[in-house]
Amino acid sequence: MAGVLRWLVRTMGIACVAIGLFHVALGNGSVPGADSAGATVDSLQRFFGAIFAGYGLVWLWAARQSPIPATVVRWLAGVFLLGAVGRLLSLAVHGWPHWFQVVLTVIELVMPPLYFWLADAEEKAVRTGAAAAQGSPRPGTYPRS
């Protein structure tokens, strides 16, 4: 499970940085159906794109830690889930968005529970390995009878 966590954390980081930079570069053009949203929304898109790229950098930072810190993964997953809650609020207030936004909402609802479940996989593996190492005899010694 620790390997799956590391892969997911790294993949999330890369995806968020790429998506964030895409939004910074294209503004409204990065959002299906938002081309004519105007300068204010374009400015907002580019700003939040930069914030999302920074969010992705934190995921990448976490992926470089050994072990990956469970608390950080849980906080990042919680923020991701909060994004899904925001989309659901928008759906309730304004109705159904572009189909691609619906797909993103599903991803944002499905992934956080997976991250919450796997968050401490590496920490557990390290603890288990350390406990096993403490219980095994040192090379050249024999356990007492």
The yes-or-no verdict on residue 17 having pLDDT over 80 is yes
pLDDT (mean) for 88-109: 96
Question: Alpha-carbon distance 4 to 1, whole Å?
Answer: 5
Closest CA to 87 of 76, 74, 96: 96
The whole-model pTM stands at 0.84
Q: Where are the extended beta strands (E) located within the chain? A: none
pLDDT of 92 higher than 70: yes
Residues 6+ apart with CB under 8 A from 136: none
Q: At 36, give phi and psi (nearest 5°).
A: -100, 25
CB 72 within 8 A of CB 116: no
- pLDDT of 108 over the 60 cut: yes
Element of type H or E holding 131:
helix 121-135
Tokens encoding 65:
């830690």
- Look at residue 140 in the predicted model and tell me its pLDDT: 56
Q: How confident is the model over 104-115, as a mean pLDDT? A: 97
pLDDT at 2 over 90: no
- Report helix, strand or coil for 128: helix
> Binning pLDDT at 50, 70 and 90, where does residue 63 land?
very high
Q: Collapse the DSSP code of 20 into the 3-class scheme (helix H, G, I; strand E, B; otherwise coil) and give the result.
A: helix
The confidence score (pLDDT) of residue 126 equals 84
- Averaged pLDDT of the chain: 90
* Residue 48: pLDDT over 70: yes
H/E element, 119: none
Residue 39 scores a pLDDT above 60? yes
Rounded Cα–Cα distance for residues 53 and 23 (Å): 9
Higher-confidence residue: 92 or 131? 92
User: By CB neighbour count within 10 A (0-12 exposed, 13-18 middle, 19+ buried), where does 111 fall?
Assistant: middle
25 pLDDT above the threshold of 80: yes
